[in-house]
Chains A and B, each alone.
Chain A
Amino acid sequence: MTLWLAAERGLDRVCGPAANPLRQLGAVAAFAFALLAASGALLYVLLDTSADGAWASIERLAVVPLGLGDLLRGLHRHAADLLVVALVLHLLREWLHGHYVRVHRFAWLTGVPLVGFVFAAGIGGFWLNWDQLGQYSALATAEWLDALPLLGAPMARNFLGVASVGDRLFSLFLFVHVGVSLLMAFGLWFHVQRLGRPVLWPTRALVLALLAMLALVAVLAPVRSHAPAALARVPAELRLDWFLLFLHPLGEALTLPGLWVLVAAVAALLFGLPLWRRAQPAAPVAVVDAANCNGCRRCEDDCPYAAVTMVPHPNQRIGRHLAVVDSTMCAGCGICAGACPSSTPFRGAAQLVTGIDMPQRPVSVLRAELRAALAACTAPAPIVVFGCGQGARLATVAAPDVLTIGLICTGQLPPSFVEYALRDGAAGVLVAACREGGCAFRQGERWAAQRLLGQREPHLRDGVPADRWAMASAGAGDEAALAQAVRQLRQRLNALDDAADNYPIAAAPAAPPAAVAPFPSPPP
Chain B
Amino acid sequence: MSPEAIARPTAARGPMAWAGQLLLYGLFALGIGVFSQWPPYRPLAEGQALIKVSFVRVGKPVGDCRQRSAEELARLPPTMRAPEVCPRERSPVTVELDIDGRRALTRSAAPAGLSRDGASALYERLVVPAGERRIAVRLSDDQRPGAPVHRREATLRLAPGQVLVIDFDPSLGGITLQ
**Contacts from A to B (Cβ < 8 Å):** 11-19, 77-78, 81-82, 85, 136, 143, 146, 152-154, 156-157, 160-161, 205, 209-210, 212-214, 216-217, 220-221, 223, 231-243, 249, 252, 430, 433, 436, 449, 452-453, 466-467, 469-474, 481, 484-485, 488-489, 492
Contact = CB atoms under 8 A, between A and B. Distances in A.
B41 A249 contact: yes
A473 B5 CA distance: 11
Nearest to A433: B8
B7 interface: yes
B41 A238 contact: yes
Interface stretch (B10-18, B82-90, B100-108): B10-18
Interface of B: 1-13, 17, 20-21, 24-25, 28-29, 32-33, 35-38, 40-44, 50, 52, 54, 56, 112, 118-119, 121-123, 125, 160-163, 165, 167, 178
Contacts of B1: 466-467, 492
B12 A14 contact: yes
Contact of B9 (A16, A152, A212): A16
A232 B10 contact: no
B32 A82 contact: yes
Nearest to B30: A217
Contacts of A488: 6-7
Given A221-B33, A470-B3, A484-B7, A239 B38 contact: yes
B42 A237 contact: yes
Given A152-B119, A160-B178, 15 more contacts: A13-B17, A15-B24, A16-B12, A17-B10, A18-B10, A18-B11, A136-B43, A143-B125, A153-B56, A157-B56, A205-B11, A221-B33, A234-B161, A236-B44, A433-B8
Given A11-B24, A209-B25, A241-B36, A466 B162 contact: no
Nearest to B11: A16
A453 B36 contact: no
B36 A471 contact: no
| Interface of A: prevailing SS | helix
Contact of A154 (B2, B43, B50, B121): B121
A131 to B, nearest CB: 13
Given A213-B29, A237-B40, A466-B3, A152 B54 contact: no
Contacts of A146: 123
B43 A234 contact: yes
Contacts of B6: 430, 470-472, 485, 488-489, 492
28 contacts: A14-B12, A16-B17, A17-B9, A78-B32, A85-B32, A152-B112, A156-B123, A160-B52, A160-B165, A205-B11, A217-B32, A221-B33, A223-B37, A232-B163, A236-B44, A237-B41, A237-B42, A238-B40, A238-B43, A249-B41, A449-B8, A467-B1, A469-B3, A470-B8, A471-B6, A472-B6, A488-B6, A492-B1
